[in-house]
Structure 1
């Protein structure tokens, strides 16, 4: 029976989650559905049944599982009828094992609105080869996932007139809808004697309270600033604006030490990163073409690391936001024909950019 409670709780959770996507959908006469049911019964304490020729008392707790199918039909906008069949599995009170049976019947349901309904019906409930004819009262709640699929949860009480049992039930169901609404003749409007024409009142002058060029009756954004452009609905127009921050630091020959004169540019990059904490930076190190390629690769990595360390240790940028990479002599900035050309190639480079949405001014 613990498994029964777990299944019911899981199914109710699924049904409640569907509320987020549910929509109201008023069904018309002539439409019908086929549905699946899962629920639980709280059997009467006097309910008994046979198992292998022996009579046992049924578990009277809310632990009896019933699963089945139902078919329903909309009679009118408010009245619905349905028939159902459930397979019943009840525990034995004080002993292992289960009693099996079935429940089948029909209901007439009245819908107070698109979601809440109540009804009355008759059924036969059998447990362990002993059955009772019963009258059942039901209240329920239904919501639609789309026009063709709905879920519902309901509960109620049933009372037997043969074995004098009183039992309670709760279940949840999923219903698939079919059919076309029954055509209803349009109502004839009563004829009304024409009234004498009244002189038309002059229409009031349109008002533009915030002076943005869009009258109040069409203005969805009131009190927009006077210096901003607005769209046809009176709302501020925006455009994308790209902001870039570039960093270029040169180094002395065979050196990876950052010149003190370059700290100002590094600080500007640090301030840009603090203003845009979502950005991460990669520092790219380079050398000129003199020397061995392996040495130049090592030197370019040292130069990139020196600038990365300055950003982290001197200007407080988080270490996980800064990385570095050396390119050796593979990416010369200029073709080397002089000492000045080689100086331009002894460098690090880094760039950040961010796209902001900014208002368009008049």
Structure 2
């Protein structure tokens, strides 16, 4: 009996990992979990076993504890494959003896956003001399305890040669730290690009620009600095006797006698008057700060990014800041709501107290666990969901390119 289970379980585990190449990739992304199970089975009373050459029927009812183990391998964010092995014992009617055996199988599980899950799979159950194979349906609920541990409870219905019922409680542990380093590298690159963009915009506010002819082309208050003769009306210049109607000194395609804005920069798109055409361009600065488990303390490595946001809003005094706090999916909703508000306020306090931003320009809000980046409970997902986000959009007028 037990010998058969030893051969069956490894074959099932190999089958789970061989079903999809994504399974192995998911293991590297801290998705693999193993667990212990305690169940109670209600066996079909049509099952039988022979004791001392006498045939006895199995006694129905949830009576004996069935310990077991399981392995869960995710395929996607919502689908996973689970294999399990339970040691079972069935009481026999009319005798104190029992029929020992096992239940082993593989389920495909689908997890809902509210932590409930459903599944279906194949099962082999052996009690004494009776062995049956059939389908198995299950419905359950799984809740995280912390980043590594979670508990679950489920109901299962097995049907084939016999119809059996089971209620099973489980404790699972997740393994792996894959993906975290890659996310940090990607995040660092994005923040570096943001810093460079802010520095370029800041420099453009204070550094005047000139074209090839030495004319100041810095845009101030929606006007351009022109040479004095460029203020002459086109019809007056056209009346000059010695004018060359084909001359185009700045090469913008508008003859000099009609060019109100002579010496425009090369490559600028111009209108019929020869003046640079401006277009609106928006730059988006996004700040994300991640927090530790159950913490509202801002990690020191994010202070530089917060300073960049402070520099940006200092250059553009018309900008206001909305800071939104979030939590992972672990714990009570009311507690997480307060924690998300504390996280948003912690970043606001740094902007005000350390970088001198007016508190009236900052609004904070907490979303609790309602808006996760990743709607699941794993080490990587929890770390990404524990965050604040602030997005500031700057719109500027820049010369259109020809």
TM-score (norm 2): 0.38
TM-score (norm 1): 0.43
Structure of greater Rg: 1
Instruction: Determine which structure has the larger strand proportion and give its number.
Output: 1
